[in-house]
Amino acid sequence: MTLRERLRQCLRLFLIFLKIGAFTFGGGYAMIPLIEYETAEKRDLIEKEEISDVVAIAESTPGPIAINSATFVGYRTAGVLGSAAATLGVVLPSFVIILVIAFFLRRLMEYRVVQYAFFGIRAGVLALIVKAVVSFWKRADHRVFGWCVMVGAFAWAALTDWSVIGLLALCGAAGFVFCAVQRKRGKLP
């Protein structure tokens, strides 16, 4: 690929992910079908089969799903420059919109009707977090091990002020050991 072609490819990636960033509500997972459509179906930037790899990689690396997928697709298409272009594209719309909102929100919050609206919204929006917890729960382990980790993590975060990062390190190590033991017993491939 010549430099010129590569730059054109980067511009294309930037515009595709700009569009994805500007039109997906609900973040990460809501973006996957759009990424599939724009990069694999409409154009041949990546293979359709690679989309499941995108999701698998995005899920098992830290950070927001949206950024992980944009960086990954960008890299597969046009190297480091491509990943930078795709990531910048997906970030930019949110960044600009939220800057504008941050500017107005404080003044808006002075109105009583807005305060009342947010009083209702605060109670309602917690339901969306409940839903997120439920969907994460569905994908987690439901045996004794999983329940111990879930309850332990809840108690750690809700009842103590010990570090969340420390807990993550502990649970990651526990998962590693648990899977290794299960494999030794022949319960895992």
Partner 1 sequence: MILLELFYTFFTIGLFTFGGGYAMLPLIQEKVVANGWMGMEELTNFVAISESTPGPFAINISTYVGAETAGVPGALCATLGVVLPSFLIILIVAKIYVRFKNSRAVGGVMFGLRAAVVGLMAAALWGMLRTVFFHGVPVAWASVLRPEFLCSAAIFAAAVTAALKKVSPIIIIVCSAAAGVAAGYIFGL
Return the residues of window 120-159 that contact partner 1 according to CB under 8 A: 120-134, 136-137, 139-141, 145-146, 149-158
| Segment interacting with partner 1 (CB under 8 A) among 5-13, 39-47, 75-83 | 75-83
By the rule CB under 8 A, 61 interacts with partner 1: yes
Taking the C-alpha atoms of residue 46 and residue 40, their distance in angstroms, rounded to an integer, is: 5
Tokens of 89: 């594209």
50 contacts: CB under 8 Å, gap ≥ 6: 40, 76
By the rule CB under 8 A, 22 interacts with partner 1: yes
CB of 51 to partner 1, least distance (A): 13
Q: Report helix, strand or coil for 62.
A: coil
Residue among 6, 34, 75, 81 that touches partner 1 (CB under 8 A): 75
Output DSSP code: residue 143: S
| Segment interacting with partner 1 (CB under 8 A) among 3-11, 32-40, 41-49, 169-177 | 169-177
Q: CA angle, 124 as apex, 123 and 127 as ends, to 5°?
A: 105
By the rule CB under 8 A, 56 interacts with partner 1: yes
Taking the C-alpha atoms of residue 164 and residue 155, their distance in angstroms, rounded to an integer, is: 11
By the rule CB under 8 A, 1 interacts with partner 1: no
By the rule CB under 8 A, 27 interacts with partner 1: yes
| Segment interacting with partner 1 (CB under 8 A) among 5-13, 38-46, 88-96 | 88-96
CB of 10 to partner 1, least distance (A): 15
Q: Report helix, strand or coil for 142.
A: coil
CB of 36 to partner 1, least distance (A): 17
- The Cα-based distances of 111 to 103, 114, 117, 124, 165 in angstroms read 15, 5, 10, 20, 39
Residue among 49, 103, 107, 110 that touches partner 1 (CB under 8 A): 103
Say if residues 62 and 28 touch (Cβ distance below 8 Å).
Answer: no
